[in-house]
Amino acid sequence: MPYWVHVGSRVARSGGSRKYGWVIKLRAETEAAASVVGEALELAEAGTGAIHVKVARDVVTDTDVAIEDTIRRSLTSCFGWPVIGEERGGEVPDEGPYWLVDPICGTRNFASGIPLFSVNVALVESGEPTVAVVGDGSSGDILVAEAGQGAWSLGPGDPARLSTSRLSLTVDFDAWPKAGAERDRAAAQLAAAVGADRWDVRCLSTTLTLAYVARGRLAGCVMFAPSGREHTAAGVLLVREAGGRVTDACGKDWVLVSDELIASADDEIQQQLLELLQRDEVDVQQPA
């Protein structure tokens, strides 16, 4: 799978000699992460390998683990900073940069042959994601963002700057609480969104939806209970650098320890979603 890296003022396509001129100057960290995410997408193309049940309907594939190991080796050899991953874990350091890696977000999709998944890598500095690289399993594109520098899609052709858009009026609802009253409330809020008939509603079951918000394919997404910062940090930076908004369910700016996540193309969509989630009249039916 071709990917693109910055070479002076030009870029070269992996596996070929054709060159294209462009003006993005990426950090060395971004280039290294983009390169290894390209390798990860090639591993994903080869298939799932064995599929293992973690608990209930939660599964992991051999490819999840192989991708995380590949990314860990590459980033550690280049920079030596800690890596915290979905499958192998890790400890957030008291100080200094560290990497967050989600080798395949949307493993159930991937294991079921549905190409809606992403490979997420983020660099965290001073408690904030400052570099994001997301591999789009549905297209093979690699999306990158750097804090204060914008977000871009790198692929065969000139890089395309990412920009959010409300035009689809489509909103994704995902990352469901596991059980109990919180899951019931999330289900009621989804029903309220459908009943409002203000947006088309999707449930894509992957943080690839954050990349879709950044690309203008979705107007917004709601994640009721994201299971870890490694799932969301890269996509959050993409959305922010593409011009979108990201908050928690109370409307406060999203941070790495936030329990919920709402991302939108603009302030108006964000406010509409926040009002939906904060409605007191959402009726949660309790089981008899």
Q: What angle, 0 to 180 degrees and rounded to 10, lies between the N-to-C axes of helices 180-196 and 267-278?
A: 130
Other CB atoms within a 10 A radius of the CB of residue 271 amount to 14
Cβ 67 vs Cβ 44: under 8 Å: yes
The yes-or-no verdict on residue 21 having pLDDT over 90 is no
Give me 152's structure tokens: 């871009």
The 10s digit of each residue's pLDDT in 71-120 is: 999 999 999 999 999 999 999 999 999 999 999 999 999 999 999 999 99
Give the tokens for residue 239.
């959305």
Q: Which helix (H) or strand (E) holds 249?
A: none
172: left (phi over 0), alpha (psi -120 to 50) or beta: beta
Sequential DSSP letters for 150-181? EEEEESSSS-EE-----TT-EEEEE---SSHH
pTM above 0.85, yes or no: yes
Q: What does the pLDDT read at residue 6?
A: 42
Task: Assign 43 to helix, strand or coil.
Answer: helix
Query: Tens digits of per-residue pLDDT, 242-286?
Result: 999 999 999 999 999 999 999 999 999 999 999 999 875 455 454
Backbone angles phi, psi at 227, to 5 degrees: -85, 0
- Locate 117 and state its tokens: 């998944």
Local structure of residue 253 (DSSP, 8 states): B
Q: Which strand (E) or helix (H) includes residue 115?
A: none
Segment 46-63, tens digit of pLDDT:
999 999 998 878 899 999
Amino acid (1-letter code) at residue 146 = E
**How does pLDDT run across 127-177, given as a tens digit for each residue?**
999 999 999 999 999 999 999 999 999 877 778 999 999 999 999 999 999
Print burial letters for 90-112: b (CB count within 10 Å at least 16), e (below 16).
beeeeeebbbbbbbbbbbbbbbe
* pLDDT reported for residue 23: 55
Determine the 3-state secondary structure of 27 from DSSP: coil
- pLDDT for 9 equals 34
Residues 191-205: tens digit of each pLDDT: 999 999 999 999 999
The whole-chain average pLDDT of the chain stands at 89
* Torsion 121-123-128-131 (CA) sign: negative
Helix crossing, 62-79 with 28-45: angle to 10°?
160
